[in-house]
Chains A and B, each alone.
Chain A
Amino acid sequence: ETGVTQSPTHLIKTRGQQVTLRCSSQSGHNTVSWYQQALGQGPQFIFQYYREEENGRGNFPPRFSGLQFPNYSSELNVNALELDDSALYLCASSHPQSREQYFGPGTRLTVT
């Protein structure tokens, strides 16, 4: 157990809808990163938040957005869902003094 939790576990949405995924980091971990993992692929970096500010972004469009809260929780929001957004979404938290990331179990999003 990494101490990182994500909700929901599974989610089915329709193309064009909006979705919010949630993550609760380990206490003391003020950096959270979000990754998208398509079937059979490695995780792809979406963005990172540090002290409630976006601190780096991967090659994802603006319809992917996030929030980080002072209580070590965070959200990933995706607007105008597309079929290709179907994937496992992983959040990972880390302590500022360590480069190791602690992953949650993921949210499996299916867009139909």
Chain B
Amino acid sequence: SQQGEEDPQALSIQEGENATMNCSYKTSINNLQWYRQNSGRGLVHLILIRSNEREKHSGRLRVTLDTSKKSSSLLITASRAADTASYFCATDKGSGGSNYKLTFGKGTLLTVNP
């Protein structure tokens, strides 16, 4: 079963605009991660935010986490055509150490038009 649910399912914007994707999850987590996937190929790790963090930045990416609402958002600023991809949130609620697994949502398909 999928723990995370991204919203919207699809998003189409113009180059230079900001893109915001949201993720909701159901149970407590250790951390939440965002991944990008181009054309059904391998996933690329974007950013990890721990359960005790509220906001994190990496380049043009900004992630927020609200554990009370069990939700996270990913903001991509000044989008580029190369940002066109599917974006997934993944929750990690493993027991610690080497034992953990990621539970992914269904993803948001972002299209950035030139």
Q: Which residues from chain A sit less than 8 Å from chain B, CB to CB?
A: 2, 4, 31, 33, 35, 37, 39-45, 48, 50-51, 55-56, 58-59, 88, 90, 92, 96, 99-106, 108
A-B contact count (CB 8 A): 77
B92 and chain A: residue at smallest CB distance: A99
B42 and A103 contacting across the interface, CB-CB below 8 Å: yes
A56 and B102 contacting across the interface, CB-CB below 8 Å: no
Could you say which interface size class chain B belongs to? Answer: 20 to 34
Task: List chain A residues, Cβ under 8 A from B105.
Answer: 42
A39 and chain B: residue at smallest CB distance: B40
- Report how far A37 CA is from B41 CA in the complex, Å: 10
Task: List chain B residues, Cβ under 8 A from A58.
Answer: 101
Select which of A31, A56, A99, A106 is within 8 A of B31 by beta carbon.
A99
Q: Which residues from chain B sit less than 8 Å from chain A, CB to CB?
A: 1-2, 4, 30-31, 33, 35, 40-45, 48, 88, 90, 92, 94, 97-107
- Report how far A76 CA is from B33 CA in the complex, Å: 25
A31 and B42 contacting across the interface, CB-CB below 8 Å: no
Task: List chain B residues, Cβ under 8 A from A103.
Answer: 35, 42-45
Select which of B4, B33, B43, B103 is within 8 A of A90 by beta carbon.
B43
A45 and chain B: residue at smallest CB distance: B101
Task: List chain A residues, Cβ under 8 A from B2.
Answer: 41-42, 44
B42 and A42 contacting across the interface, CB-CB below 8 Å: no
B100 and A99 contacting across the interface, CB-CB below 8 Å: yes
Select which of B40, B42, B97, B104 is within 8 A of A44 by beta carbon.
B104
Task: List chain A residues, Cβ under 8 A from B44.
Answer: 2, 103
B48 and A56 contacting across the interface, CB-CB below 8 Å: no
- Report how far A56 CA is from B103 CA in the complex, Å: 13
